[in-house]
Each structure stands twice: as structure tokens, then as C-alpha cells.
Amino acid sequence: MSEKNDVFEKIVSLAKRRGFVFPSSEIYGGFGAIYDYGHYGTLLKNNIRDLWWKAMVQLRDDVVGLDSAIFMHPMAWKASGHVDGFNDPQVDCRQCKARFRADHLLEDFGIDADKATIEFINAELGKLREAGKLKCSNCGSRDLTDAKVFSLMVKSNLGSPTEALSEENVVYLRPETCGGIYLEYKNTVNSARVKLPFGIAQVGKAFRNEIVARQFIFRTREFEQMEMQYFHHPSMTKEKYEEWKQSRWTWYALLGIPEDKIRFHKHEKLAHYASEAYDIEYDYASLGGFKEVEGIHARGDWDLSQHSKFSGDDLTYFDEKTNERFIPHIMETSVGLARLFLMVLDNAYTEEEVKEGDVRTVMKFPKSLAPVKVAVFPLLKNKPELVAKAREVYDMLKQEWQCEFDDNGNVGKRYRRQDEIGTPYCVTVDFDTLGEEDASLKDTVTVRDRDTMEQVRIPVAELKDYFAKNLK
């Protein structure tokens, strides 16, 4: 097993064992590329989300929030081009029924098929087939189909059962969250007293019928996006684009990501409406290299122009200072929450030799992201007086921080369990806390640091101040 796969398997195993991520519907054999987040995963994911929201909305005066519906009028996706153009080329193996992205198959042979026509793709596949080079990577069969267009849109139905059978009543689960932002642009201008330039930020679920979804939670069919659409006068595009590039780059330091693990990747091939597009990529040890986590795109006036055209509604903006009416241009930042989640796991995963032959696994999350901030232990679970005191400390601390009470197993095992959860501090209530042997230690506890494993004795009365200072 390669080092890359070894790290990947260890992270996937820890994620399940410690309640971060579970395969969805596992008791029924699982459901492809769909995952559930357990207790610690939910806490970690929410902490990442909240950090993004704070930086994007709370700390800025020019961005407001939105939570738009997953279901939207079908014409919205016709206007955006998704109904006709949101697809990938699909190839199937007739032998083992495996499914592949045709453009990815060609890329393996050095053929650039990004945004290529289906005719070009099939012509290139034909050349490889004639040369005896085209075969299934799963079973080795050479019996592969030609490429066909595969829509990434997930269809659903609304209405009565009879109506639902009609193609005219098909609705779509949104493939990206920004569509709802464009449709609520006008209402936001009229209700939130915003003036250009301003942004609308949103966190929400999106759905894509991916041909090949793999690499754990990196590419799934149901996922969360955190997107911000920044509306502005076209003359401001270059200035605002550079500002947002720098702002988004700087934000990754809050996640504990060192600068040598991220990079910008410039798109050479742009969508017809875009004037600039960069990705922020992270160097995943578990996935073997740099992969996209966030996109920053200058989209022009395409989105609002299309929705204005298809809806018949006037989506222009009137600038009272310049007496100018125009359709705003849009600068977008779009990041996948699951990809950030995997990035944080990947960056935090650490194996350390504590002493010869004794290796501990520890998730060194930034303290602001750690799912649990403090774990409280009674030294022994069968001593009621220790348990009662530990409960008292736990009840006090949980008012301020996400805490956990743990009395299962010996203290050493509890430390290792909390290390794998990524808990920054563990508090142990022992017999000295009760003052049975040394009165000077009464009402003091042992606080153990996750990263250094150093232990200090602190009075219970000072714990809140200690953690307020050290959990920043």
C-alpha cells in the first residue's frame, strides 16, 4: 500500500471509528457517494461553517445573508444553462458495468478533452480503441461503449401523482446554491438597504448526479456549498477581484493551514461569460496532491441578464450618484464545505512517537475548530465522590464551551480517545481535588494539553479564566 493510500485509509478509518463521518445507509449496504456526519463531524463541520460566516458576513458591512430554497422554478435552470449544458460525457464498461468520465479517460492519454464536444471525444476514443489502448481500469475489458451525454441535474417531482408523471412538472434539486442568490438579488436590494458594491452569502445543500463520485467526501452527490456573490459596477471588477482573492487566501490561516500547503491555480479555459477564474488548491496528503477546494470567479453580467431575459423582470440597478442604470456584474467565491472538512482532517492528522514503540494518533485541530474543547474525567468511575466533583466541574464548563464527560476506561485510554477526537484540554478530578492527603491541593485539578501532553495543576475556581485565555 502506498503512503498516500495509507494516510487516506487511516483518515477514513478514524473518521468512522470516532464518529466524524459514516457511510450513509450502511445497514442496507451503503448508498454510493453519500455520507452522514456523526456527532464530532457535525460539530467540526459547523465550526468551519461558522468561521466562514463570521468572516464573510459578521465582520463585513458589505455582505448580507440568505437561505434560499432547494427547489426553484424549473425556468431558473433553463435560464442559467444548466438544463441544456450541465452534463458530462459518460462511458460504460459492458463487462463489469463500471462507469467512467470519458474526458478523464482521454486525459489519461494526454488528450485535452475539457469542454470538448461529444463528437470530438468519440473520435478520440475510436482512435484509442483501434490502437488497442482503450480498456476498463476496473476489470480490464476492452468492451467499452461510446461516450454519451450524461446530465448532472437531479430530477424530482412536485404536485399530485398524476401531474408528477408529466415531464412538464419535473423540477430539479439545485446543482449549486448561487442560483437562489441571483433570484433574490432584487428582493435583497429592496429590503436590506444595500448599495453597490455588496455581496450575498449563503450556505446550503446542492446535488449533482456525478458519473464517478469517489475519494471519500471529496466528491459526493449531495454536498454543502458556501457561496458569496458580490454585485458591483463593471468598472470595479479588477479591483474587487484582487481584493477577494487576497481575502479568501488569508482566511485559510484561521483554519490552521500553512501557506506552503495551498496555492492559486489559474484557469486558462474560461466559461464564455467569465473574465477571470482562479481556484485555491490544498495539498492533500490523503489524496496525493493539490486538489481544488474553492473557486473565485469573475462572472460578468451573465447571470442577472439571463434571469432578466427569461423572467421578463427588470434586474437593473440604478445608481443615484451617477444617474446610471445597468445590470450589475458578479464576482463569486464558492467553496465546498465537505472539501474544507476533509482538508482540516488531512492537515490535523498526526502520528507521534510518545516513547519507543508507542505511537499516538492525534488530531491537531486549531482550537477554534476542535469539536470538543474540554473533556472532564473523574480519576475512577467507581468512586462517587470523584464522579460527583467531576460532574460539578463539567456542568460549570459546559455553559461556556462544548465539553465532554468521560469516565470510560483508564485515564491513559481516555487521553488517547480525546487525542483522536482532537480535544485541546482534558481535566482530571482526582483524590487531591478532594484534599484527602494534601489540603493545599483541595479544589485543584490536573489540566492536560493535547499537543504538548504537559500537565498543570489549576484551582477549579480559575478554570474558566484559564480556558478563556487558552481557547482563543
**What is the predicted pLDDT for the residue at 164?**
52
User: Which residue in 386, 464, 391 sits closest to 425, CA to CA?
Assistant: 464
Q: Tell me the mean pLDDT in the region 113-123.
A: 83
What is the distance between the alpha carbons of residues 281 and 438, in angstroms, rounded to a whole number?
A: 56
pLDDT of 385-412, one tens digit each?
999 999 999 999 999 999 999 999 999 9
Residues in CB range of 113: below 8 A, 6 or more apart: 89, 102, 103, 106, 107, 120, 121, 124
Grid cell, residue 403, equals 465539553
Alpha carbons 471 and 450: distance in angstroms, whole number: 12
**pLDDT tens digits, 330-352:** 999 999 999 999 999 999 999 99
Q: How far apart are CA 467 and CA 374, in angstroms?
A: 9
Same domain, 12 and 45: yes
Same domain as 442, residue 303? no
* CA dist list (Å): 282 to 288, 292, 339: 11, 7, 10
Are residues 324 and 194 part of one domain?
A: yes
Give domain status of residue 355, yes or no.
Answer: no
How many independent structural domains does the chain possess?
3
- Under 8 Å CB-to-CB from 107, ≥6 apart: which residues? 113
More confident residue, 203 or 166: 203
Are 207 and 329 within one domain? yes
364 assigned to some structural domain: no
Higher pLDDT, 81 or 375: 375
pLDDT band at 2 (very low <50, low <70, confident <90, very high): very low
Residue 95 belongs to domain with CATH number = 3.30.1600
The CA distances from residue 18 to 172, 179, 201, 363, 419, in Å, are 35, 36, 32, 11, 11
The answer to whether residue 107 sits within a structural domain is yes
Q: Which amino acid is at 340?
A: L
Which of 88, 187, 200, 96 minimizes the C-alpha distance to 147?
88
The enclosing domain of 187 has a CATH number of: 3.30.930.10
Q: Sheet holding 403-405: strands in order across? A: 403-405, 374-378, 425-429, 444-449, 455-459
Contact 93, 139 (CB under 8 A): yes
SS3 assignment, position 172: strand
DSSP state of 260: G
Which of 44-48, 113-117, 219-223, 326-330 bottoms out in mean pLDDT, i.e. has the lowest? 113-117
Q: Which of 114, 136, 151 is the last residue of a domain?
A: 151
Look at residue 138 and tell me if it is in a domain. Answer: yes
Indicate whether 43 and 127 sit together in one domain.
Answer: no
Residue 177 covered by a domain = yes
CA distance 328 to 13: 47
Can you tell me whether residue 333 is helix, strand or coil? strand
| pLDDT for residue 161 is more than 70 | no
Q: Residue 213's pLDDT is what?
A: 65
pLDDT single digits (tens) 348-372: 999 998 887 789 999 999 999 999 9
Asked, for residue 14, whether it belongs to a domain, the answer is yes
Identify the domain containing residue 101 by its residue range: 87-151
SS3 percent helix, strand, coil of the chain, rounded to 5, is: 40, 30, 35
The dihedrals phi and psi of 59, each to the nearest 5 degrees, come to: -90, 0
Q: Does one domain contain both 95 and 121?
A: yes
245 with 143, same domain: the answer is no
Q: Are 213 and 295 part of one and the same domain?
A: yes
Smallest Cα–Cα separation from 369: which of 56, 54, 51, 53?
A: 51
Q: Note whether 125 and 158 are same-domain residues.
A: no
Do 266 and 129 sit in the same domain of this protein?
A: no
CATH number assigned to the domain comprising residue 418:
3.40.50.800
- Among 125, 151, 177, residue at a domain's last position: 151
142 shares its domain with 181 = no
State yes or no: pLDDT of 211 exceeds 80.
no
Residue 175 scores a pLDDT above 70:
yes
Q: In whole angstroms, give the CA distance from residue 139 to residue 97.
A: 10
Q: Measured between alpha carbons, how far is 38 from 366 in angstroms, rounded to an integer?
A: 20
| pLDDT (0 to 100) of residue 303 | 94
Q: What is the mean pLDDT of the chain?
A: 91
360 in a structural domain: no
Beta strand ranges found along 324-402 (DSSP E): 324-326, 329-336, 349-355, 358-363, 374-378
Looking at the structure, tell me whether residues 268 and 410 fall in a common domain.
no
Quick check: is 354 in a domain?
no
What is the full DSSP assignment across 268-280? SS--TT-SEEEEE
Residue 383 in this model has a pLDDT that exceeds 60: yes
pTM reported for the whole predicted model: 0.90
